[in-house]
Structure 1
Amino acid sequence: MHLKKAAIALALALGLGLPAAHASVIGTMTRAQPVTEARIAALAEADRAAWRGYLERSRALMARDKAALATERAAGAAPPEAQARLHGDSGMPLDKPPAWYASPEARHVADNIVSFQTPAGGWGKNVDRTGHVRQKGEHYAPIDDDPSGGVIVAAAGWNYVGTIDNDATTTELRFLARVQAALPGAPGEAYRKAFDKGVGYLLDAQYPNGGFPQVYPLQGGYHDAITYNDNAFAQVADLLALVAGRQGDYAFVAPALASRAQVAHGRAIGVLLASQIRVNGQLTGWCQQHDALTLAPVGARNFEPVALSSSETSRLLTLLMRLPQPTAQVTAAIDGAAAWLKRVAVYNVGWTAKGENGRFLEARPGAGPLWARMYDIDTMQPVFGDRDGTIHTDVNELTKERRDGYGWYGSGPASALAAYDKWRAGQGGKQGR
């Protein structure tokens, strides 16, 4: 179906009337603000010292990372940038039989991970860990200085050098935990040491209020926001809970580090609860990113405007439901997020596969439920961002590149809501005892 006809059919199916003759642009992206001394100065006096100390430590760590690389390169010519970009599998499977993690193949991956760990303790993203072991003078992470999409370039040749974006750092740590468990004693010591350093990196990266930036040391722009996007925050929180529990692959963790992880996990849950969006007094969901200092919802890349996010809310809902002893506040947050997801489900439409005209939304009687990725906070209607920073109410009006290149609709929240129904039934049983 032609896109214009599809839009008309969709509007009729939803009872929204005919779309406007021209693009329904309702605004443009507003850039998220970085963490700066000036913004910290506007905080309550009791909060300023902790945030100033955090910012100073972040800058010192970045300076040390850069100095370490410069020292290596001063000793001779830097090797070519040969680290592979990720195209599919990262090379760090977490579902192999335990014995596999003692194999030469697994140890090579672990050696690659250890070699590319930054001095600060984190890892870059989008790397095939089956590749070569890092050579002295080689950069710690693949560098992308292309600002398309709104990426903030902190300094030429220094971006995402330590990040939780795209499953980075948390996956490396989980893989190291699996390998060291298969290699007790001296053979696994290097992996345990790198793991401890990596957990220390996450603890250092945690904001005074319990949030986590996308990139640490801080890179600026939206990268400084508390990042729920693509489940980055949830993956860190889950890992901290495993470290604190000291079971299975994590039994080797020292009690002192486990205790620190437990405290950090509690603080993470605290900021998660504090940042949940209320609309007309009702708890709803979360946005992809929230301002580090104010917790206000903020945009990210040019096509990711301020909006409630069904995908991120679903994952955070799952995180909260895993807590063994939910408080009344946690229970209220869970109930509010689940109710919101149920309320914004979309029916009688389908999100097509890629074709000659690209993906588009079409009327499909009887279909659903489906969820838009983003919803306007005030109207609760789906919204969509394009590469040029414009915000639309009709996904079919986006450029083909953005319609095809982003998950604007999906059915993922259905599984979270099914889990919620079971969780709620279990909570009712507990209350009845």
Structure 2
Amino acid sequence: MPLSLLRCLLLVLSAASGLAHAADTDPVADNMLLLQTPSGGWPKHYREKKVDYVRDYDAAERAALRAPDRHDDATIDNKATTSEIAYLAQAHARTGNPVYLQAARRGVDYLLRAQYPNGGWPQYYPDRSLYRHQITYNDDAMARVLQLLQDVAEGRDALAALTPEYGERARAAVARGIDCILATQVRIGGKPTIWAAQYDETTLQPAKARAYELPSLAVSESVGVVRLLMRQRQPSPALVRAVEDAVQWFDRHRLRDTAMRQVEAPGEETGKDVLIEAQAGASLWARFYDLHKQQPMFVNRQGEQVARFADMPNERRVGYAWYGTWPEKLLDQEVPRWRQSVAKPTSPR
């Protein structure tokens, strides 16, 4: 074979090998491997900033992340851990790289270990400092965990690669989680309402988190809980009642013909303000309601309840979602469809 032809052949083979290697890797997934904590979960922050899986990590950062004494700040807050497991499963499906699937397995193991015997999940594990050990529905943390484990149990999409090994354990964990949700639906005066954002993991009573997050009924989180419950196939009578009770509560506490609007306010601290005003056909809910009179609840940064939204400091009015429309789509569109599906017999997946 002529030398020039041999060189061309070697170049082609080298290029093909490089392409094959590139196809086996995913830079984002590789960074997820780097950021995965010793317990198998993932943090939400790196050096006090939101984790960035697109950036390059230098040699010193990589060494620190691989150090055996690295702080384990794994959490389910802010979509951490559940998002990485789902992404790594997809990366494995695309590339066939077994390392990504192994990391996803470690993530599922983490979730299964972190679950309390009563079915709840802490916001952080193994870190139990501050309020991190509390059962956490805040920002849909536990609902996302249950949804992911349900997808593993049912073999949905790329997570099906985890089903043979984890299907039964994931199914059992979901069942315990649903039992916890049903047990923590807050009753006031003997009547079921909705859910709090976090709970004491021993007493299952609503608990305080940050200074301005007092024990209360949490509307946004409860919408996520109800959506999760409606996702269950062949729901039990207790589950159906829990959904209907929550739906009735949402409807009773709907502020009808009321809307929220942000406006320019040069005289205010932030230069902006939030107004609650009449608007025909609109609906609005407060984010939190107190556990006694079930009235909208507002709290300043010092942890003190403020009677009226207008009396809150401007920075707090503008900087936090005290009002919103979270249940609107649920009530107007999703619940009617769910009721129809519940009325029809279904077979287990």
Q: SS where residue 63 of structure 2 aligns?
A: coil
- Tell me the distance in 1 between the aligned counterparts of 2:147 and 2:208: 25
CA gap 1:405/1:299 in 2 versus in 1, 3 angstroms: same
CA gap 1:103/1:363 in 2 versus in 1, 3 angstroms: farther
Residues 1:349 and 2:255 are matched in the alignment: no
Identity %: 37
Map 1:9-408; keep pairs closer than 5 Å. Answer: 107-125=26-44, 126-133=50-57, 135-139=61-65, 161-184=73-96, 188-253=97-162, 255-356=164-265, 357=268, 358-408=272-322
CA gap 1:281/1:375 in 2 versus in 1, 3 angstroms: same
- Tell me the distance in 2 between the aligned counterparts of 1:268 and 1:241: 11
Larger strand fraction of residues: 2
**Residue 111 of structure 1, CA deviation:** 0.2
CA gap 1:345/1:163 in 2 versus in 1, 3 angstroms: same
- Tell me the distance in 2 between the aligned counterparts of 1:172 and 1:298: 28
What number of residue pairs does the alignment pair up? Answer: 311
Report the structure number with the largest CA radius of gyration.
2
Paired residues of 1:350 and 1:367 also in contact (CA < 8 A): no
- Tell me the distance in 1 between the aligned counterparts of 2:157 and 2:264: 47
Residue type of the alignment partner of 2:341? G
CA gap 1:180/1:217 in 2 versus in 1, 3 angstroms: same
Residue type of the alignment partner of 1:132? D
Paired residues of 2:120 and 2:135 also in contact (CA < 8 A): yes
Partner of 1:8: none
Q: Which runs of 4+ in 1 moved over 3 A?
A: 102-106, 133-137, 428-431
Paired residues of 1:354 and 1:404 also in contact (CA < 8 A): no
Residue type of the alignment partner of 2:80? A
Please report the TM-score for the alignment, with normalisation by the length of structure 2: 0.83
CA gap 1:103/1:396 in 2 versus in 1, 3 angstroms: farther
Deviation digits for residues 231-261 of structure 1 (CA, Å, limit 9, x no counterpart): 0000000000011112320221152322111
CA gap 1:112/1:104 in 2 versus in 1, 3 angstroms: farther
Deviation digits for residues 6-37 of structure 1 (CA, Å, limit 9, x no counterpart): xxxxxxxxxxxxxxxxxxxxxxxxxxxxxxxx
Partner of 1:414: 328
* Alignment root-mean-square deviation, CA: 2.3
Answer 1 or 2: higher relative contact order, Cα 8 Å, separation at least 6.
Answer: 1
Q: SS where residue 363 of structure 1 aligns?
A: strand
- Tell me the distance in 1 between the aligned counterparts of 2:220 and 2:137: 10
Paired residues of 1:244 and 1:261 also in contact (CA < 8 A): yes
- Tell me the distance in 1 between the aligned counterparts of 2:25 and 2:137: 30
Please report the TM-score for the alignment, with normalisation by the length of structure 1: 0.68
Q: SS where residue 362 of structure 1 aligns?
A: strand
**Residue 189 of structure 1, CA deviation:** 0.5
Q: SS where residue 369 of structure 1 aligns?
A: strand
Partner of 1:64: none
Residue type of the alignment partner of 1:333? A
Q: Which range is displaced more, 318-327 or 257-266?
A: 257-266
**Residue 282 of structure 1, CA deviation:** 2.0
